[in-house]
Amino acid sequence: MAAASFVRNGKKIVAIGRNYIDHVKELNNAIPKEPFFFLKPTTSYLLSGGNVEIPRGVVAHHEVELGLVIGKTGRDISQENAESYIAGYALAVDMTARNFQDEVKKKGLPWSTVKGFDTFTPVSSFIPKSEVADPHNLNLWLKASEAEWSNFRYDVPYPSFDRARIVHHDIGGPLVPGDQVVCGLADATTKQELVKLEFGVVARNAGYLYQPQ
């Protein structure tokens, strides 16, 4: 299944928020007692090789993610059965209009827009489940021009599989027009690279303009 297939047929992107403690602290957010999730529109998908378009006035931050591609419908899924619903994995980047998000959060308003701009979910090709020996033991890395962010180990929240497509994020910073971004996902034990995701960053010079209120 190529990226284009699950991107074309996927019905929703469900992301788990505030599940990486260092990033929660970085943003001075409260640590939730249980995971919460938010939706991103599938129109925000960007295939590898494309360009993230940053709307005018937006400061765009990135977070590299492990994506779970759910292969069948389910409800009230037990932890014991959750893994059977996974068809495979993908590497993804969750883009956020951070300055816009800061404003709407202070006002108590929804922040779907800040996550849902076109091109704000770069995604790799599909990784079959059989190629991932242990989803708890993966290396995720991202390089943006001269900067590099990486994460080495984490736990996949199996109880959330019926709700989550993207389940883990890593600390990231702003991306600016002209950046060239390369991300990778590898087995932490064998060092075998499973997939790579690449995209550029450009300014969107038409359409939406963010102006602080």
Region 169-176: mean pLDDT is 70
Q: Output the pLDDT for position 4.
A: 73
Among 207, 210, 212, 202, residue whose Cα is nearest residue 54: 202
Q: Output the pLDDT for position 164.
A: 34
Total residue count of the chain as it appears in this document: 213
Q: Output the pLDDT for position 22.
A: 58
Q: How many CA atoms lie within 13 A of 182 on its CB side?
A: 6
Q: Output the pLDDT for position 133.
A: 92
Q: Read off the pTM.
A: 0.84
Q: Which domains does the chain have, with CATH numbers?
A: 2-203 (3.90.850.10)
Q: Output the pLDDT for position 159.
A: 40
Q: Output the pLDDT for position 166.
A: 38
Q: Could you read off the pLDDT of 59-106 as tens digits, one per residue?
A: 999 989 899 999 998 888 888 888 899 999 999 999 999 999 999 989
Q: Could you read off the pLDDT of 141-156 as tens digits, one per residue?
A: 999 886 655 544 444 5
Q: Could you read off the pLDDT of 178-187 as tens digits, one per residue?
A: 999 999 999 9
Regarding beta strands 138-144 and 147-151, do their DSSP bridges make them parallel or antiparallel, or are they unpaired? antiparallel
- Give the chain's mean pLDDT: 83
